Structure 1
Amino acid sequence: MYNRLDDLVAGTRTAHESLVNLPNWLPLTFRIGDGDWLDLDAVTLLSYRQTLDLRGAVLTRELTYRDDAGRTTSITQHRFVAMNQVHVAALQTTVVAQDWEGTIEIRSTLDGDVRNSGVERYRDLASNHLQGLEKVALSENSVLMSVETTQSKIPVALAARTSVWHGDAPAPATYRLLDEEFEIGHQIFADLKPGQPLTVEKIVTLVTGRDVATSHPSTGAERRLARQGRFAETCAAHRLAWAHLWERVSIEFSNHTEELRVLRLHLLHLLQTVSYNSEELDVGVPARGLHGEAYRGHIFWDELFIFPVLNLRVPTVTRSLLRYRHRRLVEARGAAKLAGYRGAMYPWQSGSDGREESPEQHLNPRSGRWRPDASHRAHHIGIAVAYNVWNFYQVTGDLAYMIDYGTEMMAEIARFWVSRATYDRDRDRYTINGVIGPDEFHSGYPDRPYDGVDNNAYTNVMAVWVILRAIDALQLMPLPNRLDLCEELGLTDEELAHWDHVSRRMFVPFHDGVISQFEGYEQLLELDWDAYRRRYRNIQRLDRILEAEDDDVNRYRASKQADVLMLLYLLSADELRELLDRLDYHLDPRRIPEMVDYYLARTSHGSTLSAVVHGWVLARANRDRALEFFQQVLKSDIADIQGGTTSEGVHLAAMAGSVDFVQRCFTGLEIRGDRIVLSPLWPEYLGALGFPIHYRGNHLHLRVSGKGAEISVEPRDVPPVEIECRGRVELLVPGSVVRFT
């Protein structure tokens, strides 16, 4: 749910749209008698343990403390947001007086005094997204709070019920309504005896004006709350939903390693952001999930790293997320037309309606200076959209999706790239100028730092890939549907012939036998990497370091993350060779390791995605180094290796990338045409790997150990599947098992 605010940034009036931080449902505390409210910094903490149950997605805190009066108290608290009921969250707190008795006062509220203040560099900007706070008591132990967003006018309502229990029986207690300026809830007074647990249950429902099957958020929240039972009942249903979900997405190692635990944590964060609950919603995948406010909750290209995991496990979720892009196709067409192009130009940062949300100015927290932000030139986002559409079809065979949505998007993105390409008569080649590639450091050249670079190799090669796959998508449609779409788009045979010509004559820059990141890259200065590492230690954000020195990263052969090497991440070696052959270029396969080393030595890894891509492309040639990058990806958030940014939101694409390392990289799993291809090279120290796959209606299970693989399929009335492993092809019929050694 987004909202737009205005600000004055570096003397310029600007608007920014943010994912809104909603009222806080968690506040619950207590005090003994008329003493101080519990403050862990003001008592002696005797024990503290916090655990996350990955299988059940329940967070537990257990602590024991002694206060200044010598009283010892134990607290156990469980909380979750229900997977089976998208509108429900629950908090259970059990208090035990170990060596005292008396009355405690419990304070349980809903807090509407919230702002978007979780990112330090945004704190001087407008952050109040809520207005129209209303509060009402529903019953002796239940309250309702409603607000709406200031600009988008989306109503939101929360209802909360707080009750206290001795086991299965209600505890004798006095409830008093607490109604303050921004809070509503209850003060609850109850007596404690030594060793007798008092359990406080807080059940909350949240409904917004964007929810389906709802008359009004306030009514919806109240009615849903009335249907909720006790905490244990709600929690059991939540755990069951997670158990079913894990059956679809699980990863198993025969050795229960720390790596496995982190991978499961990453899957949990991914599924808390997008799951079956997303299918009826108009949502994309924010770069930081739903976990923090970095990038204002905007949607970038991160789905390029996330969808491969979802495609093979829960493809209906991918399908719903792809609809987010199709619903904004009209906006993308308008953006292309406004910029002087045809087709659809998707925004680098997207929010509520699909307009470009990239900021015009960017703050360097190291120097304190605002600088122009040219990231709207990262038009390769359209490549990611088309790639995701095509690969969804490859995995699912969902022709209906392509007929209704997918082919139209691919055709319009291809049309954009054809119109974006300019014919250079001297070269007899098409060029694409003024873009930013995956490496966000290079927003231009030293003499024009914000005008983009020319002929970014990744962009040019993948633009050709998009054009070819769009033609394929048109060809696979039934003739009546294809004719209808071509008529609707005004797509003629002459235009398609021009597409074909562009796809054969696109310019790709080379230097010294390797692909250049962009035209003129080899003319940039070399950076003294060792000197900067000695001076600053962490140089991931080299761009900020250089700007603070009144220098510019555009002057150097220095990348934030993989750029050229993204080609080797998205395409197999055969696919890349075929594309270059089509363009009449030759890349000696023996030079690829040299190209990998060349760019690896010139990358600061200022994005968590950098380790994903570099580890992937090294997996076959240098597995030890690839495993180092795999470990780095695993640590991205649990060790907070990106300069303390995890508190601003997890790096969801890196989390998904770590899972995909296991799922596709080390297994060599590809979908080529109508065939599953395997080429396992599994690290044996992790033990045998096993996980389920959903492929074109088949429920498969893959087990890999070293270079061997075993794949089985459930007995169902579906066509057999072709499986290839190192040149050997087998037909996997329903109910059978195929083994490769």
Structure 2
Amino acid sequence: MTSITAGTWEYDGYDPAQERLREALCTLGNGRFATRGALPECAADDVHYPGTYVAGCYNRLVSRVADRQVENEDLVNLPNWLPVRFRRPGGSWLTPDTSTVLGHRQTLHLEAGVLERRTGYDLGDGHTLMVRQLRIVHMADPYLAALRTELTVRGGPVDLEVEAAIDGGVTNAGVPRYRDLDGRHLTDVDTGTLAPGTVWLHCRTRTSEIGIGVASRLTAHGDALVHTRHEQQQAIQTVHLRLLADRPVTLDKIVALHTSHDPAISDPLRAATDRVLVAPHFDDLLTAHRAAWDGLWRRARIDVPGEPGRILHLHLFHVLQTLSPNTADLDVGVPARGLHGEAYRGHVFWDELFVLPYLNLHLPEVSRALLQYRHRRLGAACAAARALGRRGAMYPWQSGSDGREETQRLHLNPRSGRWLPDHTHLQRHVGSAIAYNIWQYCEASGDTEFLQTQGAEMLVQIARFWADSATWDPHLGRYRIRGVVGPDEYHDAYPGAERPGLDDNTYTNVTAAWVLARTLDTLRALPEPRRSELVERLEMDDDEPLRWEEVSRTLYVPTHDGVISQFDGYGELEELDWAGYRTRYGDIRRLDRILEAEGDTPNRYKASKQADLLMLGYLFSPAELQALFRRLGRPVDEELWQRCVDYYLARTSHGSTLSGLVHGWILTRARRAEAWSFVQEALRGDIADLQGGTTGEGIHLGAMAGTLDLVQRGLTGLETRDGAIWLDPVPLPELSFYGFRLRYRGHWGVGLRLEHGRLEIAVPPSGRAPIEVRLPDGTVHVQPGEKCSLVLPD
């Protein structure tokens, strides 16, 4: 049973079937590394999966599947620092799967970033062992973690043996459909004793040669001695305790984790041992950790009442654990599944499109770091474009350590058991997502230095790629972009085609036109010396901007049956028997797997996994979207857009956690009465594991961040452009009250609050210029130290 309060997320009772989900949702992290919420006394098996992941720590292995050799790069499961187990001398180790459990509760304290567990074990003979543990992954010192174990016996004195360990024998085995792939990423495991009560483990990744050092300091309060042994890739510490009735005994385990990627160190093992020796005691660590979380909540908190607000609190907690100020010092991207598990192999997709808009207005330094991850891989993206015979930069759909395309060439359909070709690397639109994020970050932060340097370089190369990808069709009198896959993903080829790829995916073409237009704006606004430098460095031809202008106005937008087509030829596909499939299968979110298991393919049908064309309504305000279509010579008024919404919504299976988010966002303005059901699905996507077991393999970070941004930008109509904050709120009865604070262009803590049809904007005192706020019916300027209250129309 799940219990939710304003500041906690609580699970009562032990349920093996739900354990993987709980582990993911109880993960603790600090933006550098994270550890799943597994029980410390349980080893990895079909029920439990302890995992620890450091951002950016990847390794590449070759496996043989389906008579082919395939290469995959994975975020590595690092040595397990959690193990603490207990038993009566000579007895079996106590676990909830092998012992009688008299009560079990896990409580995630969101405000403090603490995981608490309480479990009662029946020891027999009228004795009960009560276990209480507190766990942190330190937010203030991102190299430390700590586990406090408090043991209390009832029914009389008991002798107890406690064993703590660091385990280097772990593998990547957290996703069942990957188990045919080699998951043995660690090698050269060595262990040792540093000092009484302190042990260490050193290893490296097999091919990426990343060194890993873990050191653990175990303290048993009282006179208990800590004994050490080393075996089977483990450093093991044992304590023998005499427990008196109702008198708690506490053991503290302080752990330091370093890798050779860390700055300002010479050796990860030396860094870990040095750090753990001087680390404060648990109580002091907890105090500093709470203070760091207090600061984060002040900067990023969102205030929404009721159950939606409590779920949003959890979502924000997991976003901040994955991408915190500690991330700003790292060379990492946005992992689609957080640092919470091994799904998607820890790769970076387009999810930053849903994450950065929230971070831009709270932690802009983190947004900038995540964009620098893309800039450092600009050379690899340009090399990928050259290999395809194109100019510019072609960013990969899946990225990892070095910027090459990491999309698997085969994927497993667990319903049919067949390994199938994977063509999702043709989602070239990821380049437009990166350009969009650059633009949004710079508009929100006012970081002209980034826009004029690294941002401009990326924009130019992405624009180049789109311009060079566009081919002229004299019959249509339009440019076309062929051989791509859109966000939908169900459609990766035409029915019966020998080659994968689709022509003129509208989302791809419209976002490409937007990139070309914004890059031209950027070049025009650059100071002349910087523009000359950029033109010379990138060897830009004089006619390139002219071609960009032409292509940005003449890319083809196909139509059929009075609506805009998802791609050219979409209107010729067959209609799916939606009612029939729902009757036969119930949950048809993963319709692609159902059809393939039947020997069929979604390529034959008008059926989408998630929003494709409609994604444009998520990225752009109605006014901006209409302007884009006018630029392309295809006017789209409100009536036509509404027809498109109705048409594609009826043909979408919602096989992605992003689907409910995007459709909920769009419907708040297009069909408000139906918006709330989609918003609810977005809110419950992970906590209810609506995608059928996937959350236990890692949270869906884009969907979590997107729900926060739905309140921040979707309901408020908030845009940051032209040096102003634009607001156009839409009333959603189920979310009629909300408030949050923003960091906007050097203004810290700008407050926005909507309540009872009134919008209040408060700008804290500072020496900065007033904030210009543009509304549908006028403009106001709010001075630092002032508040502005506006009555919204019904």
Q: Does 1:572 align with 2:621?
A: yes
Aligned residue identity for 1:292: G
**Residues 253-288 of structure 1: per-residue CA shift (max 9 Å, x gap):** 3x3x11111101111111111111011110001110
Q: Work out whether residues 443 and 449 of structure 1, in 8 Å CA contact, stay in contact via their aligned partners in 2.
A: no
Alignment of 1:297-446 (within 5 A): 297-446=346-495
200-209 vs 706-715, which moves further: 706-715
* Separation (CA, whole Å) in 2 of partners of 1:228 and 1:478: 50
Partner of 1:698: 747
720-729 vs 234-243, which moves further: 720-729
Q: Work out whether residues 561 and 571 of structure 2, in 8 Å CA contact, stay in contact via their aligned partners in 1.
A: no
Alignment of 1:24-35 (within 5 A): 24-35=80-91
SS of the equivalent of 1:619 reads helix
SS of the equivalent of 2:472 reads strand
Q: Does 1:205 align with 2:219?
A: no
Partner of 1:268: 317
Unaligned runs of 5+ in 2: 1-56
SS of the equivalent of 1:299 reads coil
Q: Which one of the candidate residues 153, 165, 173 is aligned to 1:117?
A: 173
Q: Work out whether residues 211 and 268 of structure 2, in 8 Å CA contact, stay in contact via their aligned partners in 1.
A: yes
Q: Work out whether residues 33 and 102 of structure 1, in 8 Å CA contact, stay in contact via their aligned partners in 2.
A: no
**Shift, 1:371, TM fit:** 1.4
**Shift, 1:35, TM fit:** 2.1
Partner of 1:731: 781
**Shift, 1:547, TM fit:** 0.7
SS of the equivalent of 1:248 reads helix
Partner of 1:497: 546
Q: Which one of the candidate residues 301, 316, 340 is aligned to 1:250?
A: 301
Q: Work out whether residues 736 and 754 of structure 2, in 8 Å CA contact, stay in contact via their aligned partners in 1.
A: no
* Separation (CA, whole Å) in 1 of partners of 2:678 and 2:667: 9
Alignment of 1:40-189 (within 5 A): 40-165=96-221, 171-189=222-240
Structure 1 pair 440/685, CA: closer, same or farther in 2 (3 Å)?
closer
**Shift, 1:450, TM fit:** 4.9
* Separation (CA, whole Å) in 2 of partners of 1:95 and 1:290: 30
Partner of 1:720: 770
- TM-score normalized by the length of structure 2: 0.91
Partner of 1:711: 761
Structure 1 pair 510/685, CA: closer, same or farther in 2 (3 Å)?
closer
**Shift, 1:666, TM fit:** 1.2
Partner of 2:575: 526
* Separation (CA, whole Å) in 1 of partners of 2:412 and 2:339: 23
* Separation (CA, whole Å) in 1 of partners of 2:663 and 2:733: 21
* Separation (CA, whole Å) in 1 of partners of 2:357 and 2:296: 17
Q: Work out whether residues 426 and 484 of structure 2, in 8 Å CA contact, stay in contact via their aligned partners in 1.
A: yes
Partner of 1:453: 502
Structure 1 pair 501/651, CA: closer, same or farther in 2 (3 Å)?
same
Partner of 1:5: 61
SS of the equivalent of 1:43 reads coil
Partner of 1:214: 265
Aligned residue identity for 1:632: E
Q: Work out whether residues 514 and 587 of structure 1, in 8 Å CA contact, stay in contact via their aligned partners in 2.
A: no
**Residues 657-676 of structure 1: per-residue CA shift (max 9 Å, x gap):** 11111111111111231111
SS of the equivalent of 1:427 reads coil
* Separation (CA, whole Å) in 2 of partners of 1:445 and 1:103: 70
SS of the equivalent of 1:594 reads helix
Aligned residue identity for 1:236: T
Structure 1 pair 3/493, CA: closer, same or farther in 2 (3 Å)?
same
Aligned residue identity for 2:67: G
Q: Work out whether residues 306 and 656 of structure 1, in 8 Å CA contact, stay in contact via their aligned partners in 2.
A: yes
SS of the equivalent of 2:524 reads helix
**Shift, 1:54, TM fit:** 0.6
474-483 vs 52-61, which moves further: 474-483
Aligned residue identity for 1:389: I
Structure 1 pair 684/598, CA: closer, same or farther in 2 (3 Å)?
closer
Unaligned runs of 5+ in 1: 166-170
SS of the equivalent of 1:133 reads strand
* Separation (CA, whole Å) in 2 of partners of 1:428 and 1:666: 40
**Shift, 1:24, TM fit:** 0.2
**Residues 507-557 of structure 1: per-residue CA shift (max 9 Å, x gap):** 110112321000000000000000000000011111111111111110000
Q: Work out whether residues 174 and 190 of structure 1, in 8 Å CA contact, stay in contact via their aligned partners in 2.
A: no
* Separation (CA, whole Å) in 1 of partners of 2:515 and 2:81: 45
**Residues 201-223 of structure 1: per-residue CA shift (max 9 Å, x gap):** 00000000000011210110011
* Separation (CA, whole Å) in 2 of partners of 1:405 and 1:243: 33
* Separation (CA, whole Å) in 1 of partners of 2:447 and 2:688: 40
How many pairs were matched up? 734
Aligned residue identity for 1:516: S
**Shift, 1:97, TM fit:** 1.1
**Shift, 1:174, TM fit:** 2.3
Partner of 1:168: none
* Separation (CA, whole Å) in 1 of partners of 2:376 and 2:394: 14
* Separation (CA, whole Å) in 1 of partners of 2:310 and 2:499: 43
Q: Which one of the candidate residues 15, 18, 21 is aligned to 2:77?
A: 21
* Separation (CA, whole Å) in 1 of partners of 2:435 and 2:609: 24
* Separation (CA, whole Å) in 2 of partners of 1:646 and 1:630: 18
Q: Work out whether residues 86 and 163 of structure 2, in 8 Å CA contact, stay in contact via their aligned partners in 1.
A: yes
**Shift, 1:492, TM fit:** 2.8
Aligned residue identity for 2:280: G
Aligned residue identity for 2:325: Y
Aligned residue identity for 1:485: L
SS of the equivalent of 2:685 reads helix
Structure 1 pair 578/685, CA: closer, same or farther in 2 (3 Å)?
closer
Partner of 1:485: 534
Q: Does 1:226 align with 2:277?
A: yes
Q: Work out whether residues 682 and 706 of structure 1, in 8 Å CA contact, stay in contact via their aligned partners in 2.
A: no
Aligned residue identity for 1:532: Y
**Shift, 1:178, TM fit:** 2.2
**Shift, 1:621, TM fit:** 3.0
Alignment of 1:578-657 (within 5 A): 578-657=627-706
SS of the equivalent of 2:279 reads coil
**Shift, 1:378, TM fit:** 0.5
SS of the equivalent of 1:637 reads coil
**Shift, 1:625, TM fit:** 1.4
Aligned residue identity for 1:213: A
Q: Work out whether residues 340 and 699 of structure 2, in 8 Å CA contact, stay in contact via their aligned partners in 1.
A: yes
Aligned residue identity for 1:703: R
* Separation (CA, whole Å) in 1 of partners of 2:252 and 2:407: 43
Partner of 2:288: 237
SS of the equivalent of 2:136 reads strand
Q: Work out whether residues 676 and 734 of structure 2, in 8 Å CA contact, stay in contact via their aligned partners in 1.
A: no
Q: Work out whether residues 65 and 180 of structure 2, in 8 Å CA contact, stay in contact via their aligned partners in 1.
A: no
452-461 vs 101-110, which moves further: 101-110
Q: Work out whether residues 684 and 705 of structure 1, in 8 Å CA contact, stay in contact via their aligned partners in 2.
A: no
Q: Work out whether residues 220 and 226 of structure 2, in 8 Å CA contact, stay in contact via their aligned partners in 1.
A: no
SS of the equivalent of 2:63 reads strand
* Separation (CA, whole Å) in 2 of partners of 1:624 and 1:76: 47
Aligned residue identity for 2:213: A
* Separation (CA, whole Å) in 2 of partners of 1:15 and 1:585: 43
Q: What RMSD in Å do the two structures reach over aligned CA positions?
A: 1.2
SS of the equivalent of 1:67 reads strand
